[in-house]
């Protein structure tokens, strides 16, 4: 059964938990990131983002007036003050995308809460971006500033199609909330150039970092222009064919299987296992699901399902994180989920939520929204500090600050959130996801309104008015007032973690949703049992053998040394424990082993003493200074 999410302009979020988070994004994160785009944040790594657009705009003016424009190299991933001319492009090759993601977040935020000052700032950035676009529609500051003759010559490594994707997503968001077409027109002009450049009997390329696929579909949805969908379909279908385009563009022969990192090792319809760079993967799979939907492509849908199942059943951290290794920021192999080496990039969980929504729209089954919930309430939220001023890129499940400092295999594991990153993909991604969280919560089709996430909101559905009040995150309670236009169904997801629930009305269960018939105005209440529980991980996951995790509702909990002392590995949880709650903490009984300094000795039971173990929601960890953290604990 197909469905579609509800457009943000028809949703007013009104939720005790999410109001706080989205206000933090609106009042702290968005203004902070605006300053970061202009490199005005003390102590933060420089982004050069707006600076590049300004330089590109100067190049465009110079070209228009027939002036000679210098050429600089286009052979680096990161251009720094040390390795390039001061007038050349600076930053990472995908630096433009930070501005686009920020604009996308602003678009969503304005549709929830109109703020003329913020709109003025966004309009200023849009002016600069539009002035940096070449006459033929091309818009990527690296090549505009450094070398116009080299555009689209290295699709594998350089991110022109990726930056285009973010431009298009930002433009659609901004247009939908403000009606302002300028950025949308710029995105369409770039899209037109891309459609003219790539396809059958044209360049047979596709992006090394996917996203153009899903972005072209968004442009198609917004403008109705069929060629955008056709080019998205072309990118999806062309990917991984031999000879590999990434070899062709380098003038090399294809001699063996390669490009797993880019999910281009074989045609996507033959891919069953999620491989390579995790963010790229889930962005691609999201685009595949979009194309499967609009082209009614059953075979492609089967591939999406296979890839989804591989992630959900074999490669997903309990926190909704994906990507088990820093090496290529990538998936590894089935059941390989190390806690202390995890990559689990914030962007990857965000991309997983994109994929989940598209899968749920193709076929409403609760496992999609279950996974989205896992990612949302754990890895995504942990990506941002409580004051909205610092961020995690990597979201490990176990941290020892000394290891992060001294073991190069763990240098990517930061024990405290960072102010900003030169490669700042995650913070603006977080801002756009949180500002549009309503789009992931609800769906509709011709006769059913779906509640995927229990986020309090007033929703104008085409089926009627829905007012959802939620205390889901604290006591599992939900109240839904429905004013239907005519007979309809309300479908409520039964969270997979929930062993007991009550619903005020009769219902029938299908694929994890409770369907309630609504005929006339109704108030439906539900309560999901959110009592804390112990969660077991498959014993195929080596890192977690003999250990257990604690969850309450959608939240994963962790131990931090600030509450439990150092050496969290010496804690042992009493599996018969009764949990008690102390504010945001859960208290459980357990033992603390006495340290034993002798490296090896004859076996004897380890001495231990009774203790209370204090657990904190994972998403809030690391907000009280540098300290150890551990999700999985041993138990007896």
Residue 611 is a catalytic residue: no
Residues 205-244 that bind Zn ion (CB under 5 A): none
Q: What is the DSSP string of 319-355?
A: TS----BTTTTB--STT---SSS---BHHHHHHHHHH
Considering the rule CB under 5 A, would residue 426 count as an interface residue with Zn ion?
yes
> Cα Rg for the chain, rounded, in angstroms?
25
Q: How far is the CB of 351 from ligand FUB (least distance, A)?
A: 8
**CA 205 from chain center: how many Å?**
26
- Answer with the entry of Zn ion, ligand FUB, none that 423 interacts with (C-beta below 5 to 8 A by kind): ligand FUB
Question: Which range of residues in 148-156, 159-167, 420-428, 515-523 is near Zn ion by CB under 5 A?
Answer: 420-428
Helices (H), 2-154: 16-24, 30-37, 49-64, 96-112, 116-131, 141-146
Q: How far is the CB of 209 from ligand FUB (least distance, A)?
A: 5
Which is nearest to 293 in space by CA: 359, 240, 355, 352? 359
Token output for 372: 């989205």
Q: How far is the CB of 316 from Zn ion (least distance, A)?
A: 18
Rama region for 92: left / alpha / beta (φ>0; ψ in -120 to 50; rest): beta
Q: Which is nearer to ligand FUB, 414 or 452 (CB)?
A: 414
Q: Which is nearer to Zn ion, 99 or 570 (CB)?
A: 99
Which is nearest to 367 in space by CA: 198, 568, 513, 535? 513
In 3-state terms, what secondary structure has residue 72? coil
Q: Which is nearer to Zn ion, 341 or 425 (CB)?
A: 425
Q: How far is the CB of 343 from ligand FUB (least distance, A)?
A: 9
Q: Which is nearer to ligand FUB, 213 or 345 (CB)?
A: 345
Q: Which is nearer to ligand FUB, 371 or 394 (CB)?
A: 394
Q: How far is the CB of 263 from ligand FUB (least distance, A)?
A: 13
Whether the bond into 243 is cis, omega within 30 of 0 = yes
Considering the rule CB under 6 A, would residue 279 count as an interface residue with ligand FUB?
yes
Q: How far is the CB of 426 from ligand FUB (least distance, A)?
A: 8
Considering the rule CB under 6 A, would residue 345 count as an interface residue with ligand FUB?
yes
Which is nearest to 114 in space by CA: 7, 230, 12, 264? 12
Q: How far apart are CA 458 and CA 501, in angstroms?
A: 23
Q: How far apart are CA 586 and CA 581, in angstroms?
A: 5
- Selected from 15, 140, 213, 329, the binder of ligand FUB by CB under 6 A is 329
Considering the rule CB under 5 A, would residue 425 count as an interface residue with Zn ion?
yes
Residues 90-149 that bind ligand FUB (CB under 6 A): 94
- Answer with the entry of ligand FUB, Zn ion, none that 210 interacts with (C-beta below 5 to 8 A by kind): none
Helices 298-314 and 346-362: crossing angle in degrees, nearest 10, is 130
In the bound state, the residue with its beta carbon closest to ligand FUB is: 279
CB 144 within 8 A of CB 42: no
Residues 183-212 that bind ligand FUB (CB under 6 A): 209
Q: How many residues bind ligand FUB (CB under 6 A)?
A: 8
Could you say which of 51, 104, 213, 329 is catalytic? 329
Residue 425 is a catalytic residue: yes
Q: How far is the CB of 412 from ligand FUB (least distance, A)?
A: 11
Q: Which helix (H) or strand (E) holds 178?
A: helix 160-178
Exposure class string for 333-372: b at 16+ Cβ within 10 A, else e: eebbbbbbbbbbbbbbbbbbbbbbbbbbbbebbbbbbbbb
Q: Which is nearer to ligand FUB, 74 or 537 (CB)?
A: 74
Burial label, 54 (beta-carbon count in 10 A; 0-12, 13-18, 19+): middle
Which is nearest to 507 in space by CA: 437, 453, 570, 448? 448
Considering the rule CB under 6 A, would residue 281 count as an interface residue with ligand FUB?
no
Contact pattern for ligand FUB over residues 570 through 609, marking x by CB under 6 A: ----------------------------------------
Could you say which of 49, 195, 425, 537 is catalytic? 425
Q: How far is the CB of 392 from Zn ion (least distance, A)?
A: 10
Residues 390-449 that bind ligand FUB (CB under 6 A): 423, 425
Q: Which is nearer to ligand FUB, 383 or 532 (CB)?
A: 383
Contact pattern for ligand FUB over residues 75 through 94, marking x by CB under 6 A: -------------------x
Which is nearest to 383 in space by CA: 618, 78, 110, 131? 618
- Answer with the entry of Zn ion, ligand FUB, none that 232 interacts with (C-beta below 5 to 8 A by kind): none
Which is nearest to 340 in space by CA: 540, 542, 535? 542
Token output for 470: 């939620």
- Selected from 232, 347, 369, 537, the binder of ligand FUB by CB under 6 A is 347
> Which residues are at the interface with Zn ion (CB under 5 A)?
345, 347, 425-426
> Which residues are at the interface with ligand FUB (CB under 6 A)?
94, 209, 279, 329, 345, 347, 423, 425
- Positions marked active-site: 329, 425
């Amino acid at each position: 059964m197909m469905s579609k999410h509800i457009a943000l302009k028809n949703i007013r979020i009104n939720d005790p938990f999410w109001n706080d988070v989205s206000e933090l994004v609106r009042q702290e994160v968005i203004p902070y990131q605006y300053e970061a785009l202009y490199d005005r944040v003390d102590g933060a790594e420089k982004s050069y983002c707006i600076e590049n657009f300004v330089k590109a705009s100067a190049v465009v003016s110079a070209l228009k007036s027939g002036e000679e424009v210098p050429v600089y190299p286009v052979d680096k991933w990161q251009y720094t003050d040390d390795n390039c001319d001061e007038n050349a492009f600076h930053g990472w090759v995908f630096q433009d995308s930070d501005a686009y993601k920020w604009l996308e977040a602003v678009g969503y935020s304005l549709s929830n809460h109109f703020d003329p000052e913020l709109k003025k700032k966004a309009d200023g950035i849009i002016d600069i971006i539009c002035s940096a676009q070449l006459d033929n529609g091309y818009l990527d500051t690296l090549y505009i500033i450094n070398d116009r003759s080299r555009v689209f010559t290295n699709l594998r490594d350089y991110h022109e199609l990726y930056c285009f994707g973010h431009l298009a997503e930002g433009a659609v968001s901004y247009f939908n909330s403000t009606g302002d077409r300028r950025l949308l027109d710029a995105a369409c002009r770039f899209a037109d150039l891309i459609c003219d450049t790539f396809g059958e009997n044209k360049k047979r390329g596709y992006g090394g970092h996917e996203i153009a696929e899903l972005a072209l579909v968004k442009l198609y949805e917004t403008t109705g222009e069929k060629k955008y969908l056709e080019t998205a379909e072309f990118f999806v279908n062309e990917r991984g064919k031999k000879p590999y385009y990434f070899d062709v563009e380098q003038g090399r022969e294809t001699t063996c299987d390669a490009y797993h990192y880019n999910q281009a090792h074989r045609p996507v319809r033959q891919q069953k296992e999620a491989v390579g760079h995790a963010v790229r993967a889930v962005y691609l799979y999201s685009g595949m699901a979009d194309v499967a939907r609009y082209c009614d492509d059953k075979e492609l849908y089967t591939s999406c399902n296979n890839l989804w199942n591989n992630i959900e059943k074999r490669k997903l951290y309990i926190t909704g994180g994906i990507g088990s290794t820093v090496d290529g920021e990538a998936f590894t192999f089935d059941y390989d989920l190390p806690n202390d080496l995890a990559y689990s990039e914030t962007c990857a969980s965000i991309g997983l939520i994109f994929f989940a929504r598209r899968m749920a729209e193709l076929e409403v089954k609760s496992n999609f929204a279950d996974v989205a919930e896992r990612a949302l309430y754990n890895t995504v939220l942990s990506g941002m500090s409580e004051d909205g001023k610092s961020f995690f890129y990597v979201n490990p499940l176990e941290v020892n600050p000394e290891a992060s400092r001294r073991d190069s295999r763990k240098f990517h594991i930061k024990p405290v959130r960072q102010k900003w990153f030169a490669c700042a993909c995650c913070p603006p991604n977080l801002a756009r996801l949180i500002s549009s969280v309503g789009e992931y919560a609800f769906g509709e089709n011709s006769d059913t309104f779906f509640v995927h996430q229990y986020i309090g909101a007033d929703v104008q559905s085409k089926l009627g008015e829905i007012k959802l009040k939620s205390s889901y995150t604290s006591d599992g309670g939900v109240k839904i007032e429905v004013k239907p236009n005519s007979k309809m169904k309300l479908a409520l997801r039964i969270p997979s973690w929930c062993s007991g629930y009550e619903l005020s009305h009769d219902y029938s269960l299908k694929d994890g949703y409770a369907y309630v018939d609504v005929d006339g105005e109704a108030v439906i209440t539900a309560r999901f049992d959110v009592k804390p529980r112990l969660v077991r991980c498959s014993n195929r996951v080596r890192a977690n053998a003999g250990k257990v995790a604690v969850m309450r509702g959608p939240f994963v909990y962790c131990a931090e040394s600030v509450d439990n002392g150092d050496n969290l590995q010496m804690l042992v949880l009493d599996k018969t424990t009764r949990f008690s709650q102390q504010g945001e903490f859960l208290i459980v009984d357990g033992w603390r082993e006495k340290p034993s300094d002798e490296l090896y000795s004859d076996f004897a039971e380890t001495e231990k003493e009774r203790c209370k173990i204090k657990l904190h929601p994972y998403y809030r960890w690391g907000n009280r200074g540098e300290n150890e953290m551990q999700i999985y604990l041993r138990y007896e």
